[in-house]
Chain A
Amino acid sequence: MRVKSVLENYLFILPAIIIFAIFYIIPFIWVFQLSFFDWDGILPTKTFVGLSNFREIAKDKDWWQAMRNAGYITLLALTFQNALAFLLALACDREIRLRNFYRVIFFIPPVLSEVVVGMVWRFLISDIDGANLINRALISLGLGNLARQWLSDPKFALTTVALIHCWKGFGWGFLIFLAGLQTIPRQLYEAARVDGADAWESFKKITIPLMTPVIVLVAILTVLGTMQVFVLIIALVGGEFAGHTSVPVLRILATMRGSSRFGYACSQGITFGLILVVISFIQYRFSKRARQIQG
């Protein structure tokens, strides 16, 4: 009776375990296995090469160029996108008209797919047929010297990608910041006002310290999300654009599909995953330290 009951209980988790084992655990193990091999993905024979894939990554200029590009996009997202999100959240935390309208609108870009966002923007700023609406607007505003080939000029393509990524992503940070701000008890601000603190002081002494955990969380998620960006780039520029807009995941995809080097692609994936884990861990530790100093 008891054994039967336990078996019956296992039936509940069986479908989930089967799917998870086949489509998560096996690929997870294979990534590590394949990273020690040289393999084109087709031939039945794989050549064991030890750690040489990882040694190659260390010297792979294209790879580190891609890391730098992703780092650049992430830096813009961390500063510009999150600052914008925080400011908007502060504005919506007040008693202000149309608050719910803004909240609905700001989260529209995050629910759209990267393909759609990339294509709509590519259409808005494409260089074909004088179609570039942004340039036209800039010229008519007398800012013609700001008009440029946003996506086809190698100097600006990456920045354009980063800005559109920020456009797509800020609404998400905004929602989390706003939820965080709304958990701060209003009495704290009132007490501060009674004690004679001005708005800036209560922002510095109440809002910032209480929001630190939320800010760190958004920062970690921004880094994890932005470093792995790539679909948006495919939709906007079509691909790596001779390295100007290459990012790690695009590199992995090119290693796998372009040069058919499955083993090397796997070792790139592992390297990148480890880098992401280390970055998040450092951010987390850093925030803990900051909180200890504050408290």
Chain B
Amino acid sequence: MKPSLYYKTKKITINLLIQLFLLSVALTCLFPLLWMVSSSFKTQDTIFKDISLIPQEFHWENYYLAWKEGGFGRYFLNSVFYTATVVFSLVIVSSLAAYAFSRLRFPARNILFIMFIAAMMIPLPGSFVPLYVLLNKLHLRNTPLGYILCLVNVGLSTSIFLLKTFFDKMPPEVEDAARIDGCSKFGIWWHMALPLAKPVLAVVIVFNSLMVWNEYILALIIFDSRKYMPLQVALQTFWGEFITRYPLLMAGLTITVIPIILIYLFMQKYIIKGITEGAVV
């Protein structure tokens, strides 16, 4: 009786300690965000006095002011626009290429594919310097199109790689049947390959959405005009100008974070899949 009781208490104590450790780290992760949301409902006068996590009164008007006066409405829509167009273009461009690299025959196929993969591996810090020069020459600097094309390029290699790996594993019988039915190559890509690739496309979409939504440095060097700026760069200029209006700033940050948290919570299955499959080869 005694030794089993000893082991039982030992096990419970260990589990309790582990829970305590995990819980404290989880709180450390959450607290800054909860504090941000909480502060976004306070006023400039109470933000440093009212140090309760749940504010005494909720000032919803901060969100209205940030959206209208602070211009976050515009920046938010810009970010949504960039994310949607970049991700949509990436899905089309990378799935076309990945399908060809996996299934179609043409000269220099392997060399071209290796080139994309090499680009994925070579670190190129400061690549924004020549990009800036290039966009200037093409008169694409300070235009949404220039920014979108740059970001499509950023996501291209990884998306092609992920999709090609999937297409390689796809059984060829599916396509043979379609070909016999008289489907063209583009028809097979559109009607067969894309629908089958849905799980991988989800990974591609989620990762690239996060990438575009969180992108900062290219937006910083490409845009001079405020009207084109996405949220991340706008926040930076906002910090300088609205230093005395913390609640508005916190409301702006919350507006920026909400879509990311939503995507993350709904699509976490794909995020975890992408991270673990991409990393643990």
Contacts and interface: CB of A to CB of B under 8 A. Distances in A.
B185 interface: yes
A75 to B, nearest CB: 19
Contacts of A9: 100, 104-106, 185
Contacts of A175: 272, 275-276
A119 B100 contact: no
Contact of A115 (B19, B25, B30, B232): B232
Describe B's contact surface by its main secondary structure: helix
Contacts, number: 242
B107 A6 contact: yes
B29 A16 contact: no
B217 A231 contact: yes
A92 B23 CA distance: 12
Contacts of B32: 117, 120-121, 124
Contacts of B30: 105, 108
Contacts of B166: none
B271 interface: yes
A116 B126 contact: no
Interface residues of A, number: 89
B253 to A, nearest CB: 6
A200 interface: no
Given A8-B185, A249-B125, A13 B26 contact: no
A106 B25 contact: yes
A94 B272 CA distance: 19
A146 interface: no
Interface string A20-46: 101110111011001000000100000
Interface string B263-280: 011001001100110011
A12 B96 contact: yes
B156 A16 contact: yes
B133 interface: yes
A76 interface: no
A221 B279 contact: yes
B65 interface: no
Interface in B146-184: 149-150, 152-153, 156-157, 160
Contacts of B47: 131
A244 interface: no
Contact of A31 (B21, B127, B264): B127
Contacts of A34: 129-130, 133
B132 to A, nearest CB: 7
B29 A109 contact: yes
18 contacts: A19-B153, A23-B149, A24-B153, A31-B130, A88-B25, A113-B260, A114-B214, A119-B239, A131-B47, A175-B275, A176-B279, A179-B276, A217-B280, A234-B236, A249-B126, A253-B128, A266-B130, A277-B122
